Structure 1
Amino acid sequence: MILRNSALRQGRQVFTASCKASQSAPTGLRALSTDRLSPLPTAYADPSTLTTSSPQVAAAAAAATAVSNPRVLSAVAQATSSSPKKGPKRGKTASVSNRVANQFRRSEAIKDSIGDLGSTVEHRFRPSSLLQDPPRPEDVTLELLMSAQCHMGHHASLWNPANQRYIYGVRSGIHIISLEEIAASLRRAAKVVEQTAYLGGLILFVGNRKGQMEVVSRAAELAGACHLFSKWVPGTITNRDQILGKEQLKIVNEKDETLTGFEKHLLERRPMMPQLVVVLNPLENFTLLNECAQENIPTIGLVDTNGDPTKVTYVIPGNDDSIRSVSVIAGVLGRAGESGQKRRLADAAKGICTWRKPAELRGAAKEEATEKEDSHISAVMEQIRL
């Protein structure tokens, strides 16, 4: 307190001396007494409703009107230091409500005046629609692929020269994939998936990147196939007797109805292998691709500009980093598999079987028929003896 009073007194003496030297003391006093900061508007009160009832504002006003009196300055400083610090009081909210109402009326008037301008959006994009209702192969357009960012590749310095025929150009250092190549490759892969499903083949969808679990599951659900969204276990195909030996098998007819009487054959049968593998991220699943190549299993891969297209059988050039791009590609392939399954079941209802029995299964069926015939003959012979 003593230091503050001495500082104020010293400041007053310096200010008075400078005013006498320049003979402009009244002007300086007038400027000091009239230079006040106006309160800022808040969200609760209008600037016109704010008052100077705050102790800090009153102390500042008293200090401005009594600069020449050191006793008053010390008293004001003491009152300021001893007074509790409080924020500005909230004013009435009526003015704020009126201002908001006026702004709302103005915005409505502007909407009425320009309501006929602009375009009307008939179909709004919903991110979940790519999973709930994926597009069909015949619905694939260049606009759909561009909106899904399927044409965005990687940086030009990361490219694989084997992808040169799929690249349209470079923009801002990023490779742009040709939309025509994407559409043509996607339609060809969709035909492969549809025909495999029509012939009763087992299809496997693989996508184990972050965010691809729902995409892979939905595509496999549509196509009636299997899916994998976790890490691939090495040797699942080449060493399937040890890894998949305990998995359950069943034998079905052309209508997908379970057949009984083959329990003995199922105990001796090896685990099944997929007839087609769809990989959405080939870079992380190179082990799976190598195993498929060893067993002559065809593969479909979504290959980006930094990938190797020679690792898969049917290449779909496109962006494998965007969830929206992957959803479009997987959704189209899932719809193709769904179409193939519907065709197969429709032909099965007419008595047409679109797939052939495996050789070992035909042998098991013949053995079972022979056993039934022998048992029937033995039963007849027993009746004759009796």
Structure 2
Amino acid sequence: MSKITNKDLLDAGVHFGHLTRKWDPRMAPYIFMEKNGIHIIDLNKTLNSLEEASNAVRSIVRSGRKVMFVATKKQARAIVSEEAQRLNMPFVTERWLGGMLTNFATMRKSLKKLAGIDKLMKDESFKVLAKRERLMKTREKAKLERLLGGITDLTRLPAALFVIDVKREHIAVAEAKKLNIPVFALCDTNSDPTQVDFAIPGNDDAFKSIEIITKAFGKAIEEGLSSRKEDKEQKERERAEEEKKAVDQATDKQDA
């Protein structure tokens, strides 16, 4: 995806806010005008905010840490889970379980339970269990997978959150704030942008708007991952050169 322009955002309907009577006054700096009772978002502000957020997330990912994607509204689930999986990042698209961040130890127990059931179901002993017991285990696994499937590889707290709809995901935002985890979020005109660290003003209800912002954010993560890979390769080259140099010096001493 090449650099996003105002026209790209316009075509995706990113500029459409909520009805003026449903607005949050704290979004005023990001509103361009009012038209037919609807607030229109300033797309120049969206582009600037997106660039700022992209620079920050590149730096986070380059250091080797994870960004958790959070979007439980229907029109955002598919695109957000798809992008998170593509980037091998954790995601929550079903329901935010209270304490997912603030009570991470308990969450890890649930993940271990899921791994345990998965291991049991692959074992021969599972076949000899009573039919009712097998059914209960299968249902439990399905429920845990639905709720925790996107965070099975998460061994420690994420370094940041990417959120679609701050109002809807207020519990996730509050938990991140409590733990000083930076939050990047697509904020509509009915949101409070002061609740997050990097507010990207835009329509958080339309699929196309969510898609263009999520993919642009994902591209920044991809660039961060690429830079991390280059850094590691550079360090390996330097290490190999140092080892070769040490071997050459040792050989020279022996020859002398």
The letter of the residue matching 1:241 is A
Farther-moved stretch of structure 1 (333-342 vs 215-224): 215-224
Please state how far the C-alpha of 1:213 moved relative to its aligned partner. 2.1
| CA distance, structure 1, for counterparts of residue 211 and residue 51 of structure 2 | 15
| CA distance, structure 1, for counterparts of residue 44 and residue 197 of structure 2 | 19
Alignment of 1:272 onto 2:136 = no
The letter of the residue matching 2:44 is E
| CA distance, structure 2, for counterparts of residue 286 and residue 146 of structure 1 | 27
Alignment of 1:347 onto 2:240 = no
Selected match of 1:219 from 66, 83, 98? 83
How many residue pairs were aligned? 196
Q: Give 1 or 2: higher helix fraction.
A: 2
Please state how far the C-alpha of 1:186 moved relative to its aligned partner. 0.8
Alignment of 1:201 onto 2:65 = yes
The SS at the match of 2:181 is: coil
Give deviations 1:58-109, integer Å, cap 9, x for gaps: xxxxxxxxxxxxxxxxxxxxxxxxxxxxxxxxxxxxxxxxxxxxxxxxxxxx
Please state how far the C-alpha of 1:224 moved relative to its aligned partner. 3.0
Runs (5+) with no aligned partner, structure 2: 113-153, 237-256
The SS at the match of 2:18 is: strand
The letter of the residue matching 1:328 is I
Counterpart residue number, 1:162: 26
Pairing of 1:285-324 with structure 2 (within 5 A): 285-324=169-208
Pairing of 1:1-386 with structure 2 (within 5 A): 135-136=1-2, 139-245=3-109, 247=111, 271-351=155-235
| CA distance, structure 1, for counterparts of residue 56 and residue 69 of structure 2 | 14
TM-score (norm 1): 0.49
- Higher radius of gyration, 1 or 2: 1
| CA distance, structure 2, for counterparts of residue 243 and residue 348 of structure 1 | 31
| CA distance, structure 2, for counterparts of residue 157 and residue 246 of structure 1 | 42
Runs (5+) with no aligned partner, structure 1: 1-134, 249-269, 353-386
Give deviations 1:104-124, integer Å, cap 9, x for gaps: xxxxxxxxxxxxxxxxxxxxx
The SS at the match of 2:91 is: strand
Contact 2:61 / 2:225 at 8 angstroms: preserved in 1?
A: yes
TM-score (norm 2): 0.73
Please state how far the C-alpha of 1:246 moved relative to its aligned partner. 5.0
- Change in Cα spacing, 1:246 to 1:210, as seen in structure 2 (3 Å) is closer
Please report the RMSD computed on the Cα atoms of aligned residues, expressed in angstroms: 1.8
| CA distance, structure 1, for counterparts of residue 182 and residue 104 of structure 2 | 18
The letter of the residue matching 1:146 is L
Higher relative contact order (Cα pairs below 8 Å, separated by 6+ residues):
2
Please state how far the C-alpha of 1:194 moved relative to its aligned partner. 1.3
Contact 1:189 / 1:314 at 8 angstroms: preserved in 2?
A: yes
Contact 1:197 / 1:223 at 8 angstroms: preserved in 2?
A: no
Give deviations 1:316-364, integer Å, cap 9, x for gaps: 0000000000000000011111111111112211216xxxxxxxxxxxx
Percent sequence identity over aligned pairs: 30
| CA distance, structure 2, for counterparts of residue 334 and residue 241 of structure 1 | 28
- Change in Cα spacing, 1:345 to 1:161, as seen in structure 2 (3 Å) is same
